[in-house]
A = this chain, B = another copy of it.
């Protein structure tokens, strides 16, 4: 990146998934997310700001931190800034950074590792909250299967409030995941309304927990690959839980024995 036009054009371009994938870059928007990015090991390519950022003391502190780190800082008009931002209320700051490369075959599983598997999750807010929950509840990684929204979408990054910078999502196909889990001796359980109520089957030592699409649940292929389908006990007449809430309950209840 070089100069005003470069960073602004790049940020606008990175609204498209194809551009993010081709360049291996993503955009972090808003005060809290950019603060978390600067505190993470990820490489920042540049920061775009507009005058909105100067209006709060916290914005001023962030500006000082950006300057003292010697990062490329480009100031644009509010209109130009808004044309590059993808989330609501980005508070006058966004940063372009490199996606950490994290591949399934580079993952090391501890004795009692937990993984979260995202199968066709469509809502960026849900994906962000899932990554946040997986990180906070001790999963080693989150595996993102095809059909799931891009985990480096700015709305996902915003919802994960920095958790994915230290707990990066790993993209894989179902057959890659299946081979990996088998090689690692790791069981795969899926969340499904018709599954056995949580608490019946003994919990495997190494476990991957899969959650599916907001409307349709797990795909047939994933369902077939699961060693066990489990459900969360619910009230009579209740339709369903939000997928991130369901995953949080499963990650907590199925955590390693302590």
Contacts and interface: CB of A to CB of B under 8 A. Distances in A.
A10 interface: no
Given A132-B242, A248-B241, A137 B255 contact: no
Contacts of A133: 241-242, 245
A138 B236 CA distance: 8
A123 to B, nearest CB: 10
Contacts of A136: 234-235, 238-241
Interface in A94-138: 125, 129, 132-133, 135-138
A2 to B, nearest CB: 35
A68 interface: no
Nearest to A237: B166
Contacts of A248: 241-242, 245-246, 248-249
A28 interface: no
10 contacts: A125-B125, A132-B245, A136-B239, A138-B238, A161-B239, A233-B258, A241-B248, A245-B248, A246-B248, A249-B249
